[in-house]
Structure 1
Amino acid sequence: MLDYIIVFSSSLLAATIAPFYSEVVLAAALIRQPDAALLLWLLASVGNTLGSIINWWLGKYLLHYRHKRWFPIKEKQLARAQAGFQRFGVWSLLLAWAPVGGDALTFIAGIMKVRLLPFTLLVFIGKATRYAVVLYFADRFLL
């Protein structure tokens, strides 16, 4: 049971702005519980997607404070990120799993007020695919 909580929590944390790598935790849990691969995949995918929803929410609601001095993103950076998101559209959320830029993408989606349902579906598909690949390689090379 503790492995499940750790996989879920690490996946959720890894999707927020906190620097954390849940793939290692997932692979370690798979080694300890190889028969639970499907449940581990689901927990990691859901946890990571929920972390992205936190980023989306932060982007959506923190935008109200963009003119404050403490706001973490400068106006030029924000405009550039919004232009990039508009250029590639909502489908770019399939890349929210990427280690570089994926978390920022989910934050920008909140700023762009992407509807929660398509956001969640696209992010889940990308993240679930990534965790399936991680489990495949962990099973192939570690077990």
Structure 2
Amino acid sequence: MTEAWLEIGGLFVSAFVSSTIAPGGSEAVLAYLIAEGRHPALQLVGVATLGNTLGAMTTWGLGLLAAKRYPAAALLPAKSQRALELVQKRGVWALFFSWLPVIGDALCFAGGWLKLPLLSGVLIILLGKLGRYGAIAWVFD
């Protein structure tokens, strides 16, 4: 029982950290756990999606805080600058791609910076991340 909690908790932490400004590899953790077959794939996908979405919302919050202190977008690094422009152009729907490596975290940061609607932002981020983890589960199950 304890081992199961450690595995699932580890997946949650890995997914959370992977979606903040820190690098991580939650996809590999999910693929491993699914291949092991000790937990239902749906449960693992749910845990990874929840952790990754909460991490994205942490990054969103950092963007919101940064916008209060540093309202000039020119202070952002080039990666975040591109993400900010994309989110300004496409709106909240750009957040669907928050699962992408490199630019995904910047998209969430830009969503907070631009003060996009929170509820629709969370739902769109969640859908994108669920799709990614669902695809990984499908491949490794």
- Cα gap change, 1:111 to 1:24, in 2 (>3 Å): same
Q: CA separation in 2, counterparts of 1:19 and 1:27?
A: 17
Which amino acid in 2 is paired with 1:110? G
Residue 89 of structure 1: SS of its match in structure 2? helix
Question: C-alpha displacement at 1:92, in angstroms?
Answer: 0.7
Aligned to 1:54: 58
Q: CA separation in 2, counterparts of 1:7 and 1:19?
A: 14
Aligned to 1:118: 120
1:89 aligned to 91, 109, 121, which one?
Answer: 91
Which amino acid in 1 is paired with 2:49? S
- Cα gap change, 1:67 to 1:49, in 2 (>3 Å): closer
Seq. identity, %: 36
Matched, 1:25 2:29: yes
C-alpha contact (below 8 Å) 2:83/2:103 kept by paired residues: no
Matched, 1:136 2:138: yes
Aligned to 2:9: 5
Give 5+ residue unaligned stretches, structure 1.
none
Range that drifts further, 90-99 or 24-33: 24-33
- Cα gap change, 1:61 to 1:30, in 2 (>3 Å): same
Q: CA separation in 2, counterparts of 1:41 and 1:63?
A: 33
2:49 aligned to 22, 45, 49, which one?
Answer: 45
The normalised TM-score by structure 2 is 0.86
Q: Cα RMSD between the aligned structures?
A: 2.3
Residue 96 of structure 1: SS of its match in structure 2? helix
Residue 40 of structure 2: SS of its match in structure 1? helix
C-alpha contact (below 8 Å) 1:27/1:135 kept by paired residues: yes
Residue 134 of structure 1: SS of its match in structure 2? helix
**Corresponding residue pairs, total:** 136
The normalised TM-score by structure 1 is 0.85
2:69 aligned to 65, 68, 72, which one?
Answer: 65
